[in-house]
Amino acid sequence: MEIGNLGVTAARGFQAAGGSAGIKKNNTKDMALIYSTVPCVAAGTFTRNLVKAAPVKWDQHIVYDCPTAQAVVVNSGVANAATGRQGYENCEETAKEAAAVLQIPADSVLVASTGVIGQQIPTDKIKAGIHMLAPMLSDSKEAADIAAAAIMTTDTRSKQASVSIELGGKTVNIGGMCKGAGMIHPNMCTMLSFVTTDAAISKEMLQKALSGVVDDSYNMISVDGDTSTNDTCLVMANGLAGNPEITEENEDYRLFAEALFEVNRALAKMIAADGEGASRLFEVKVIHAASKEQAVTLSKAVVTSTLTKAAIFGRDANWGRILCAMGYSGAEFDPEKVDLFFKSAAGELQIVENGIAADYSEEEATRILSENAVTALVDIKMGEAEATAWGCDLTYDYVTINADYRS
């Protein structure tokens, strides 16, 4: 399945726009609008953080209680989190304004925010932004690119992925964009991610497919171990592909779910690779685990370990930190059976055999760890389950970015 870089306009009937509404300083792009020419079924997964931002609560209402959705209003700069009742009312006001401008029902407008916690969103600027963006809506790739750029915060590059599959003789397109670089340790879903598709699929099946996808994509990445208050992943399907509607777990459903997974995994890996200050993507794959849960626990503990991340930055094969992180993860395993390999485009090298140092060359290890993407492959020799987690290294720039983020 080939992953393209088209974004939210890859699927028929979806339009996008992005621009500066003056929320951020210096005319930086800070608002995006996604619109479908026909009503969609929508699915979503949201942060499990007890402190949920107002837009998360609003979107949960739309996704769980309302039959269709047709637009998403996104702003960066201010997260609208820890903003109380006023914050929620501001979501409602935003949705109503977009509904009036786009001539759709207010309860079919999703909203999303990312940025500083604790400030109210400037509703005047956001309402003006909606009026500015609506006439610019376009199904072009350029429009998707601008929207993807407008939702960035500390991201250094925009993130888009797409795929096309055949269902019942019809071409079905899936495209998405996401943002996220810090406060990345999703639990249930992640950051902001918007995926659109022209597949014909029931709301129930769409939610089922999405829920099955996030556990192996967004929920397997970590930049800093901090689960955000705003994590949101939304998928909208408008049916314009004309495929036989998916209403049960048949072969079409499985193919669609796999395509949805590929797009979301690609987006998730982009977030990990663009982690705040990151200089390389760090992948941790645990194989031969007794259960999926065990493999997930171990791989996430390693990818989240501050000391391991610092060693990856230093291209230092400090494998003791990896074993140490596995040891405190809470998962049961036999440390004296662990094999560990480092892999990258430069080669593969066994570092640990049965829990103790293998006879390897430090120079060769450093050479392998100098690539842009490096993998730690851990074999715990217990069963057939496996899991892969993605993160990044810990660098000086991470500290720079986060020491005074609000200034």
Q: Which of 156, 171, 355, 384 is in the footprint of its own copies by CB under 8 A?
A: 355
For its own copies, the binding residues in 360-379 under the rule CB under 8 A are none
- The site that binds its own copies (CB under 8 A) totals a number of residues, namely 67
* β-pairing verdict for 232-237 and 192-197: parallel
For the CB of residue 372, give the shortest distance to its own copies in the complex, in Å.
17
Q: Which two tokens stand for residue 315?
A: 């291209």
Active site residues: 190
The DSSP 8-state label assigned to residue 243 in this structure reads: P
Which CB sits closer to its own copies, 173 or 299?
Answer: 299
Residue 300 binds to its own copies (criterion: CB under 8 A): no
Q: Does 403 participate in binding its own copies (rule CB under 8 A)?
A: yes
- Coil, strand or helix at 114: strand
* AA identity, residue 189: C
| Stretch of residues binding its own copies (CB under 8 A), selected from 62-70, 224-232, 256-264, 367-375 | 224-232
Task: Enumerate residues 6+ apart whose C-beta is below 8 A from 323.
Answer: 335, 338, 340, 352, 355
Residue 406 CB, nearest distance to its own copies (Å)?
6
One of 79, 151, 240, 368 touching its own copies (CB under 8 A): 79
Q: Which is nearer to its own copies, 31 or 352 (CB)?
A: 352
How many Cβ atoms from other residues are within 10 Å of residue 41's Cβ? Answer: 22
Distance in angstroms (rounded) separating the CA atoms of residues 324 and 128: 53
Binding test (CB under 8 A) with its own copies, winner from 228, 264, 344, 388: 228
Tokens read off for 375: 């993998």
319-348: string of b/e by CB count within 10 Å (b at 16+)? Answer: bebbbbbbeebebebeeeebbbbbbbeeee
Residue 49 · residue 232 · CB < 8 Å: no
83 binds its own copies (CB under 8 A): yes
| Residues between 11 and 30 that touch its own copies (CB under 8 A) | none
CB of 6 to its own copies, least distance (A): 33
- Residues 302-321 touching its own copies, rule: CB under 8 A, are 304-307, 310-311, 313-316, 318-321
Based on the shown chain and the rule CB under 8 A, indicate whether residue 328 belongs to the binding site for its own copies. Answer: yes
| Residue 74 CB neighbour total at 10 angstroms | 25
What single string gives the DSSP state of each residue in 56-103? HHHHHHHHHH-S-EEEEEEEEEE---S-HHHHHHHHHHHHHHHHHHHT
Question: Which C-beta is closer to its own copies: that of 226 or that of 251?
Answer: 226
What CA–CA distance (Å, rounded) separates 68 from 71?
10
CA 152 to chain centre: 12
The footprint of its own copies on residues 118-137 (CB under 8 A) is 118-119
293 binds its own copies (CB under 8 A): no
Candidate ranges 111-119, 152-160, 247-255, 382-390; the one touching its own copies (CB under 8 A): 111-119
Nearest to 172 by CA among 108, 68, 246, 232: 246
Q: Which of 60, 327, 360, 364 binds its own copies (CB under 8 A)?
A: 327
Residues that bind its own copies (CB under 8 A): 48-52, 79, 81-84, 116-119, 182-183, 185, 187, 224-229, 304-307, 310-311, 313-316, 318-321, 323-328, 331-333, 335-336, 352, 354-357, 394-396, 398-407
